[in-house]
A and B are shown apart, each in its own frame.
Chain A
């Protein structure tokens, strides 16, 4: 029997998906616990709007300090919270960075998932606690079929993807061996206005907004031919919740089934703020010019990955068939919302600057 108030524990609660999922679960009446790492700078921007002061009574949103690389912190938090559902969204989630920090990536993304599964088992919560593992379309890497679905063989192309593949298999193994309710959501790219600033979609919308207002000269990108299946994070977290409400735990691909190139994304984002980009040249020399002939987009090979993933396209028919899930927000609406929000913050920066105050400049 499940208790009257469902308790959920979210790792990676300060991230894009964590913040949307926390909102969703709060709206469904859950008591939501989040794990956050101690960092030298504040990292709670995305959840500040749902934060509840510890001095208030009847808090339903509670943060805990913890770290996926620290098994004892996970055991302590899970012991304390006794969650009905755990959503493991925490990860070193940047593909390019994983080439520079392969070990840390394996430790947090691969071993991290295992530590949670072990904690559930050690605490004897196998029958009570349901586990969601955030798997990723990057597992498909060098794709073996198009589009990719649950049965497509994996071919990871980055330390990030390999670490995530370990977490995928260990989740399957714990489900099959110990009968735990544990499942993988294989999510294709999902974006939003709170996507991390170093991810390509957010980098584009943020840069175009700043270029429009004269705060930045040029946007440098890597492989503009890379094709991705981009959905909205808000749609996808609903699916994460749905996956834990089934009779049997199963893995699901979550995707829109529509693909765009990075260049397409730039064009769509520019169109939202009445900019038209004219492309000239190809390969390393490809450049995008605005109406006034200024070069505002260029290629910088430093953003090429050592091994590229050229194309990802998901087939979410299983999710549609079994869970009745379908994305509600279109590509155009996604780009439009991201552009609008980044334009707002660029405008804020412009005002602040005009009055002689300094703004935060974020650099990679």
Chain B
């Protein structure tokens, strides 16, 4: 029986990945901070199936002992401070968690479990204000926030541990991937929530935004720059790519994305339309929500993943958005 260790198991990707690996017959270990596990989280329903280990990625002792104890064949390093916007207010902590914790993990693997294969979660945010129209594994980075700069740090360190010490570490450069399990503060989830509220006629929503105001206030949803476009994929498709990446004979990096671009207005349109509402009456752009420095236009070129891994997305944009809105609807209906 193969053994896998997932850091960040309580998150969207961690929980989907745990389900996938369980289904494939793995024994799954999940690393979580006690405070993350004690709250309801994306992996709560797996409580009897995943072996949860308490620890903090920023503590070397925890990592070394957990790796020795669990003897994983595969390690998926998904834990991170995952909000680029917040990283401006907590740049040092962001580097601690997204950068330094990763090298503590690589170091622990090199010393205690050199035969393990490591997947490291890199991010399309690293491309930032990229000068190329589409981004692939060869595109150079231009990070525009502390989150992305920290991710660039970990990405390069992964390559150095791979090239210098022969540790099996592969970076997955994932473009945006969403799902019903996205936390409420993510853009796509806000829109799905807004559409569900509109459908149920909720004028002031129970859920609050970062500023402590209802996400939907006076019947309207505030978003940042409405003209941004993203390459949005569906998270369960993306965690399948993570697993596929570690099944390759040699560790290399992969860009994972759909290769399709959708604007925020398109997202709103699909979401509100799926419940028969007009988004233009319910959504407005608020300058206060615009990031200090917006990344440029990013679009994945997933040719390598298509050809080498045989990976293709199975759920398209419209279907994903509808699922997210439906999940919000049933959640809100339970509350009412």
Contact = CB atoms under 8 A, between A and B. Distances in A.
A58 B99 CA distance: 45
Contact of B156 (A71, A115, A156, A170): A156
Interface stretch (B137-145, B249-257, B325-333): B137-145
A176 B293 contact: yes
Contacts of A162: 153, 156-157, 160
A169 B152 contact: yes
B164 A173 contact: no
Contact of A169 (B149, B160, B164): B149
A300 interface: no
Task: Give the size category of A's interface with B.
Answer: 20 to 34
| Secondary structure call for the A interface | helix
B92 interface: yes
A173 B149 contact: yes
A106 B293 contact: no
A166 B150 contact: yes
Nearest to B165: A306
Interface stretch (B100-108, B237-245, B305-313): B100-108
Given A103-B100, A106-B153, A169-B143, A307 B293 contact: no
Contacts of A158: 160
A115 B92 CA distance: 7
A191 B245 CA distance: 44
Interface string A146-188: 0000000110111101110110011001001110000000000
Contact of B103 (A71, A102, A156): A102
Contacts of B95: 106, 110-111, 114, 166
A307 B149 contact: no
Contacts of A118: 91-92
A325 to B, nearest CB: 26
A173 B293 CA distance: 8
A268 B100 CA distance: 42
B92 A170 contact: no
B292 interface: yes
B319 interface: no
A241 interface: no
B146 A173 contact: yes
Contacts of B153: 106, 110, 162-163, 165-166
A161 B156 CA distance: 9
6 contacts: A99-B164, A106-B95, A154-B140, A169-B143, A169-B148, A177-B88
Given A106-B99, A169-B152, 19 more contacts: A110-B99, A110-B153, A111-B95, A111-B100, A115-B92, A118-B92, A144-B140, A153-B140, A156-B156, A162-B160, A163-B153, A165-B156, A173-B149, A176-B144, A177-B88, A177-B292, A177-B293, A306-B160, A306-B163
Interface of A: 71, 99, 102-103, 106-107, 110-111, 114-115, 118, 144, 153-154, 156-159, 161-163, 165-166, 169-170, 173, 176-178, 306-307
